[in-house]
């Protein structure tokens, strides 16, 4: 029994109460941290589409008017059966979004960089073959310094194979920057995508040099890179 005449016992009792209180606080904070971590993890996995803004306008060379085939600023839908691609010579639209980590990423024609833009869908069997093929090839033959390789993850379907696309691409060791398209596949539409995988080759002036779709061999991919460098096929 603790009495007023025994201060040592009283101090000991008060100390025990304080330590119990500290312990309770630590436990509560620990539980809160666990729930917060779980929530953050879920958000990272589920956030596979982003917010995209579109700006810039398309231009042509040689007096043509390919923009008549699509809304102003967009590339016409790609048709591999045409002898001449009407998008060639057009300036690509500027699209701004983010990667899977939420960092800003812009694809623009006015940055002075030649580029090859690859559009992929995680559920597409042809993309599933093309990505590891190109990854292995790029490990041996890296992109030249004057050509940038960019990726657009689009047409995301949570119930389909290889979802989420972030884990699929990271699992394949794909290191090129990836822009997460929005739920409406706005970037894909702006660039005239009609099938997967889809390639848009752009010269240093921001103009389309050529486009391609379907599975490419490594030699065909190298030809696209060379076309971006030289500004012609």
What is the model's pLDDT at position 123? 98
pLDDT higher than 60, residue 224:
yes
Q: Which CATH class is domain 50-230?
A: alpha beta
What is the model's pLDDT at position 186? 96
DSSP string, the chain: ---TT-HHHHHHHHHHHHHHHHHHHHHHHHHHHHHHHHHHHHHHHH--S---EEE-----STT--GGGGSSTTSPPPP-TTSSS-TTTTPBPPEEEEE-TTS-EEEE-SSSS-EEEEEEE-TT-HHHHHHHHHHHHHHHHSPPPTTEEEEEEE-S--TTSTT-SHHHHHHHTT--S-EEE--TT-HHHHHTT--SSSEEEEE-TTSBEEEEEES---HHHHHHHHHHHHHT--
Q: Could you state, in order of their start, the residue ranges of all structural domains in the chain? A: 1-46, 50-230
What does the pLDDT average to over 206-231? 98
Q: Give percent of the chain with pLDDT exceeding 90.
A: 70
What is the model's pLDDT at position 119? 98
Given pLDDT bands bounded at 50, 70 and 90, which one contains residue 47? low
Give pTM, 2 decimals: 0.75
pLDDT in tens, 143-161: 999 999 999 999 999 999 9
Given pLDDT bands bounded at 50, 70 and 90, which one contains residue 131? very high
What is the model's pLDDT at position 81? 96
What is the model's pLDDT at position 20? 41
């Amino acid at each position: 029994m603790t009495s007023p005449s025994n201060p040592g016992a009283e101090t000991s009792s008060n100390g025990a109460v304080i330590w119990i209180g500290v312990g309770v606080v630590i436990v509560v904070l620990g539980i809160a941290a666990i729930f917060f971590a779980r929530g953050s993890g879920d958000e990272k996995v589920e956030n596979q589409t982003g917010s995209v803004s579109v700006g810039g306008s398309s231009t042509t060379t040689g007096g043509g008017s390919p923009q008549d085939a699509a809304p102003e600023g967009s590339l016409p839908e790609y048709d591999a059966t045409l002898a001449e691609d009407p998008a060639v010579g057009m300036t690509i639209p500027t699209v701004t979004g983010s990667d899977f980590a939420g960092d800003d990423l812009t694809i623009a024609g006015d940055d002075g960089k030649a580029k090859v833009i690859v559009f992929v869908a995680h559920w597409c069997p042809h993309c599933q073959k093309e990505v590891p093929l190109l990854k292995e090839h790029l490990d041996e033959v890296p992109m030249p310094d004057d050509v940038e390789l960019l990726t657009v993850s689009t047409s995301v379907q949570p119930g389909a194979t290889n979802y989420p696309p972030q884990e699929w691409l990271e699992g394949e060791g794909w290191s090129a920057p990836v822009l997460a398209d929005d739920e409406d596949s706005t970037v894909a539409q702006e660039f005239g995508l009609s099938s997967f995988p889809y390639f848009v080759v752009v010269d240093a002036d921001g103009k389309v040099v050529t486009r391609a779709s379907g599975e490419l061999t490594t030699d065909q991919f190298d030809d696209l890179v060379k076309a971006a460098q030289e500004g012609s096929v």
